[in-house]
Amino acid sequence: MPEARPPAGHLLELRRVSKRYGTAAAEVHALREVDLSLEAGTLVAVMGPSGSGKSTLLTIAGSLEAPSGGEVLVEGRALSSMSRNAKAALRRRTIGFVFQDYNLLPGLSAAENVSLPLELDGVPARRARAVGMESLERLGLAARAAHFPDELSGGERQRVAIARAVVGERRLLLADEPSGALDSENGQAVMRLLLDACARGVGALVVTHDEHLASFAHRVVRLKDGRVESESVLSHAKDAS
């Protein structure tokens, strides 16, 4: 039986998370005792200069690397208590990643790219295709379903990447500069799509360098030298319409 859904407010929690790279002689503290929480329905922008730990934060939140200290909880479950298989299942079913360079597979159509995570998780192909189409439709891409990535614009590719990241029941969206390669209009469109996903119950952690795009978020967390320098709650996120 699936576990009951945990209460809102515990989609992602980082508790005093630290990450050190290198040897004792040449150690880099990429993160220093970072506390951060992400509730369902919330978009949090992560900002900070290059080298401040933003990518490390996403990597650790996504269970792709273990912290050197502290604890990460996803939906209330401590990653440190989970087996490798359980973490892999979490990445397949709960977490969606969006990368700056999209990472779409060039030999697959938009629809095939979006349904691939479900197929890899053992969902029968027909069902995976239907759920993938729903995700494409939500992002206004139904008419592009049969197109290959090189037949799509940059903005459309990024929308396909977001459709893939939120396909099925994925609730935690981790995006590393999802608008980095886009012009400002498409960048704003990406933020609106992420807000739409949050309105449907997803929680999103989004790295951006752009203050204006960060202003779309519900909260902005600023990192400096691996620490949370400040965290601000924006009185209201920009209208998603």
Q: Applying CB under 6 A, which residues contact ligand ADP?
A: 21-22, 28, 30, 48, 50-56
- Please give the span between the terminal C-alpha atoms of the chain, in angstroms, as a whole number: 38
Select 49 or 154, whichever has its Cβ closest to ligand ADP: 49
26-38 and 43-47 strand pairing: unpaired
- Residue 157 token pair: 């590719």
Residues 203, 41: contact at Cβ < 8 Å? yes
**Which of 41/178 has CB closer to ligand ADP?**
178
CA of 235: how far to CAs of 71, 86, 218, in Å?
A: 29, 37, 8
Please, which residue, 32 or 144, has the CB nearer to ligand ADP? 32
User: C-beta of 52: minimal distance to ligand ADP in Å?
Assistant: 4
Alpha carbons 148 and 5: distance in angstroms, whole number = 37
Cα four-point dihedral sign 174, 200, 187, 37 = negative
Kindly tell me which of 7 and 49 has the beta carbon lying closer to ligand ADP.
49
Question: Least distance (Å) from ligand ADP to the CB of residue 31?
Answer: 8
Residue 120 Cβ vs ligand ADP, minimum distance, rounded to whole Å: 26
CB of 56 to ligand ADP, least distance (A): 3
User: Residues 201, 5: contact at Cβ < 8 Å?
Assistant: no
Closest approach, Cβ 62 to ligand ADP, in A, equals 13
Considering the complex, what minimum distance in angstroms separates the CB of residue 14 from ligand ADP? 14
Name the residue nearer to ligand ADP (CB basis): 47 or 167.
47
Nearest to 169 by CA among 73, 88, 67, 96: 96
Q: Per the structure block, which two tokens stand in for 213?
A: 């795009």
Q: How far is the CB of 32 from ligand ADP (least distance, A)?
A: 11
Edge-first strand order for the sheet with 227-233 is 95-98, 172-176, 203-207, 43-47, 219-224, 227-233
| Pick 56 or 115: Cβ nearer ligand ADP | 56
Residue with tokens 């053992």: 122
Q: Kindly tell me which of 18 and 148 has the beta carbon lying closer to ligand ADP.
A: 18
